[in-house]
């Protein structure tokens, strides 16, 4: 079975290099290509990492491991699609019309398959009206919006902004937009489950539920309660069409994380979780 990974990070710099090293990997396109080939990952969606250079415009954040990305001149590997990221902190001072025009340039390309909101890291709620033009853009181009939910890396994020309950209001305001709660809202699994149950246009990616270089047997033994909590609420949701595989690479080894999700979820739903749901939600893949 081929796999689609709906959530990776593809960025250059010492920070990404250290994270990859901590999980026993190398932060490079060559390493990722080899790991994907070994694990039958046919496609991955990178969350934007590189910020724009013009402070007057909220430029789309894009993958940058293979150099500066320009619309119409895609210089990333063929197996990498991407979501262009919104830097919410720049919105109050930016030229919104020019910003939206830049996002449109990316969304017109086949490689840009969605929009990413960095809730928690950016100190604005996702349902703040300042974001509405970007959701309207997602609706116009029929692409999903991925929102960081749950815990943030480091201490600079504010998790009140990344609580999954705020997405309930968005799902009602934009019923024709597909919203993806990255990381299952962890640790607010129950709340994320309710938001996904209630709203037919809300989906969940299973990235970031573990990180680092770890033993699977040890993980399932040491975190028995956590694993059973996840299984309980995934079963309670009762719709495995809502879940998509994502790894959060380079925070975790590709092979280890695939096996973690395989063990965590019922085998009969693996074709949906690892492939089919991604095609339904990210329709440009």
Find tokens 């079975």 and name the residue. Answer: 1
Q: What is the pLDDT of residue 193?
A: 98
| Contacts of 206 by beta carbon, 8 Å cutoff, 6+ apart | 184, 243, 244, 245, 246, 261, 264, 273
- 162 and 152 in contact (C-beta within 8 Å)? yes
Q: What is the pLDDT of residue 111?
A: 96
DSSP-assigned letter for residue 220: H
Tens of pLDDT, residue by residue, the chain (285 residues): 899 999 999 988 888 899 999 999 999 999 999 999 999 999 999 999 877 777 788 989 999 888 778 777 888 999 999 999 999 999 999 999 999 999 999 999 999 999 999 999 999 999 999 999 999 999 999 999 999 999 998 889 999 999 999 999 999 999 999 999 999 999 999 999 999 999 999 999 999 999 999 999 999 999 999 999 999 999 999 999 999 999 999 999 999 999 999 999 999 999 999 999 999 999 999
In what helix (H) or strand (E) does residue 46 lie, and over which residues does it extend?
A: strand 41-47
Range of the structural domain that residue 259 is part of? 3-281
Global confidence as pTM:
0.97
Q: What is the pLDDT of residue 65?
A: 83
Q: What is the pLDDT of residue 69?
A: 81
CATH code for the domain in which residue 166 is found: 3.20.20.140
Structural domain count, the chain: 1
DSSP H helices in the chain: 14-22, 29-39, 96-107, 132-141, 166-173, 189-198, 216-222, 224-237, 254-264, 270-271, 277-281
The alpha-carbon radius of gyration of the chain (Å, integer) is: 18
CB atoms near residue 29 (< 10 Å): 15
Q: What is the pLDDT of residue 232?
A: 98
Q: What is the pLDDT of residue 179?
A: 98
- C-alpha–C-alpha distance, residues 229 and 191, integer Å: 13
Beta bridge partners of 86: 117
Cα-Cα end-to-end distance for the chain: 17
């Amino acid at each position: 079975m081929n796999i689609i990974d709906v959530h990776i990070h593809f960025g250059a710099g010492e920070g990404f290099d250290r994270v990859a090293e901590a999980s026993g990997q190398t932060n490079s396109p060559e390493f990722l290509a080899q790991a994907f080939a070994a694990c039958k990952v046919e496609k991955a969606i990178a969350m934007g990492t590189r910020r724009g250079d013009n402070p007057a415009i909220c430029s789309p954040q894009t993958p940058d491991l293979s150099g500066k990305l320009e619309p119409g001149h895609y210089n990333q590997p063929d197996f990498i699609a991407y979501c262009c990221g919104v830097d919410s902190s720049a919105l109050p001072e930016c030229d919104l019309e020019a910003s939206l025009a830049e996002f449109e340039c990316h969304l017109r390309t086949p490689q840009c398959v969605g929009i990413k909101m960095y809730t928690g890291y950016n100190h604005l709620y996702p349902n703040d009206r300042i974001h509405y033009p970007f959701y309207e853009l997602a609706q116009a181009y029929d692409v999903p919006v991925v929102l960081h939910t749950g815990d943030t890396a480091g201490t600079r994020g504010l998790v009140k902004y990344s609580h999954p309950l705020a997405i309930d209001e968005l799902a009602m305001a934009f019923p024709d937009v597909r919203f993806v709660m990255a990381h299952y809202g962890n640790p607010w699994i129950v709340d994320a489950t309710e938001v996904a149950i209630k709203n037919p246009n809300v989906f969940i990616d299973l990235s970031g539920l573990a990180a680092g270089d770890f033993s699977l047997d040890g993980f399932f033994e040491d975190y028995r309660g956590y694993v059973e909590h996840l299984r309980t609420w995934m079963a309670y949701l009762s719709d495995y069409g809502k879940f998509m595989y994502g790894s959060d690479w380079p925070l975790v080894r590709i092979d280890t994380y695939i096996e973690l999700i395989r063990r965590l979820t019922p085998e009969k739903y693996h074709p949906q979780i690892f492939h089919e749901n991604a095609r339904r939600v990210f329709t440009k893949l």
